[in-house]
Amino acid sequence: MTNSTINALSADAWDASSNSAALPPRTGALTDIRVVDLSRVLAGPLCGQMLADHGADVTKVEPPAGDETRGWGPPFVREDHSTYFDGLNRNKRNISVDLRIEEGQQLLRRMLAEADVVIENFKAGTLERWGLGDDVLAAEFPRLIHCRITGYGTDGPLGGAPGYDAVLQALSGLMSINGEADGEAMRIGIPLVDIITGLNAMNGILMALHVRRETGRGQLVDLALLDSAVSILHPHAGKWFATGVAPERTGVAHPTICPYETFVCSDGPFFIGAGNDRQFRSLAKALDAPGLAEDPRFTTNTDRMANAVQLRKVLGGLIGGWQREALATALRLAGVPSGAVNNVGEALNLPQVRHRKMVIECDGYRGVGVPVKLSESPGSVRFGPRHRGADTDDVLAELGFSENEVACLRGSGVLPE
**Catalytic sites, residue numbers:** 194
The gap from C-alpha 16 to its chain's centroid, in whole angstroms, comes to 25
Pairing label, strands 117-120, 145-150: parallel
Q: What is the DSSP letter of 232?
A: T
What CA–CA distance (Å, rounded) separates 287 from 298?
A: 15
Cβ pair 165, 194 in contact under 8 A: yes
- The enclosing H or E element of 140 equals helix 134-140
CB 68 within 8 A of CB 40: yes
List the alpha helices (DSSP H) in 173-249: 192-215, 225-231, 236-243
Compute the distance between CA of residue 18 and CA of residue 40 in angstroms, rounded to an integer: 27
Measured distance CA(201)–CA(209) in Å, rounded: 12
Query: Kind of pairing, strands 260-265 and 268-273?
Result: antiparallel
With both helix axes pointing from N to C terminus, report the angle between 277-286 and 324-334 in degrees, rounded to the nearest 10: 130
Count of other CB atoms within 10 angstroms of residue 307: 16
Residue 94: name the closest of 75, 70, 124 by CA: 70
- Of 118, 91, 17, nearest to 370 (Cα)? 91
